[in-house]
Structure 1
Amino acid sequence: MTLDDSPWVWQRLDDPEVAGVLADAQSRQYFEPFIWRERRVIDVAAELGVTKNAMLYQVNKLLSLGLLEVTRSEARAGRAIRYYRSSSQGYFVPFTATSAESIHALYESSLDHTRRSVLSLLTRAWSTLAEDPRWFGLYTYGDEQGLKSHALLPVRPASLASPDQGMLQCLLQGDVPAIWDNTAPVSLSREHAKQLQRELHDLHVKYQALHEDAGGEPYVLRLTLVPVSERR
C-alpha cells in the first residue's frame, strides 16, 4: 500500500522547518496534545507543566508553520477562548526532509524524549515502591542456557530459590501499581517471532481501545522486539 492508497489522511511535510517539529522530540511534545483533538492553550500548558505564555508562544509557532488551526472560539468578557487542533490526522516526514545524518540519528532525535520520559516515570514509581533500600537494585539471572532476565526491582524477588518463576512475581501483586520493565532475551523461530510480534500488536490495540474507560488513569506503554542478528 502506498501513501496515496492509504485510507488515512497523511500530510506530507517536506519543508525542513516544519518537518523538524515532528522529527525533534523536544519540539514535538508541544504539538502532540493537539493531534486531532480540540484543545485550549491553558489546558495543554497545565498538562505539560509550562506557563500559559510559553505554551501560547509554541502554539503561535505551530500556527505559522501550518501544523495547527483554530477550530472555534468561545466569546467571553475580554479575549475570546480559542480551541486548536492539528491540521491533519496523520503526517509523513520523509527522511530527506530531516536534518538527521543517519537513520540512527533520526531515531535518537525523535525518540530520545520518550525514552527519558519513560525512565523518569519508572524512577518515580520505583522510588515509591522501594520500602527497604537494601533490596533496591539490579537483578540479573541466568541458567545453563544463558541470560534469562535483567531487571531493576524496588523489592527482593518473591523466590530466590526459583528466580525464573518468582523473580517478577512481586510486581503482579494486587496492591502494587501496574508497572512492568524487563529485558529478557528469547530464542525464537521466525514463525514464533512473527506470532509474538502480532500478539504484541493485538494486545496494544486491545487496551488502547479502552482509553475512554470511566476513571481510567494514563499509562505509557512501550513494546520492543528486535532481532539480535542481521539474518532474515
Structure 2
Amino acid sequence: MTGDFSDWPRRAVITDEAAGTWLVDLEAQRFLAPFLRRDCTVARAARELGVKANSLLYRVERLVSLGLLRVVREERRQGKAVKVYRASADEFFVPFAATGAAALEDLVRALSAPLGHVLVSNSVAVMRARDLDIGVRVFRDAAGETGRVRTHLAFPDGSRVDTRGDEWPPLMDTWHGGLRLSRAQGKAFQRELEDLLEKYARISVDEPGELRLLAHLALTPLVTPPPLHDSSREAS
C-alpha cells in the first residue's frame, strides 16, 4: 500500500549544522537520493546504489537521527516487518550558517573538480598534439632575493608560450593574483567579463566542424593571500 503524501513537506530549511554538513557532502548525498520524493526500502535503495543493504542501513539510521529521513510505514511480511523510508522533505535548503566553513569549501571544490579536470586534460592534449618542445620554466622574478618564485610554460630558450596567435586554437588558462582595483573598478571588471561571455554565448553555433569550447571565468577578493611562491601563474 502506498501512503498519500500529497501534503508532504515540499521544502525544509536546515538549522542543524550536523545535518547541513551532511547534505553538502556530494558523496553522502547519493545515499539520500533513493528516498527523495518517494517511498523506498533499504533493500531497494541498496540495489539501485550498488551497495550492500547492511552497509546502507547504517547510513539510513544516521539520516534518520539527523532528521533527514523518516519511517513512513512498515510492511508486514513473513518474519520481521520491513521499514519503508522517505526523505523528510522533497527538497532541502541549507543556509551557510548551518554548515562548517570546511564543508562549504569541500562542496565548491567537488562541484568544480570535474570541469577543472576536463579543462586541464584537454589543454594538455592540445599542446601535446602540436608536438612542440614545450616545458615549464621555474624562476625568481626581477625583485631579486625578495622576489617570488614564478612558473609558466616556456620554450627551451625561456620565452613564454603565447597561445594568442592564429596558429593556436582558442586556448588559455591564466591566473593573476595581484590585481589592485577599487571596488567600483572590480565590479566593472566583473560585469565586462560576464557581458563578454554572454555575447559569445548568444552567437554560439552548433554545426559540424565548429569548435566546442569550455569557458571558465572567476574573480574573487583575496581574503587569504595567494601562495607566496606563485603570485601570478600563467598556464598559457
From the CA coordinates, give the structure whose radius of gyration is larger: 2
Question: TM-score, with normalisation over the residues of structure 2?
Answer: 0.47
Q: TM-score, normalised by structure 1?
A: 0.48
Q: 1 or 2 for the larger relative contact order (CA 8 Å, sep ≥6)?
A: 2
Greater per-residue helix proportion: 1
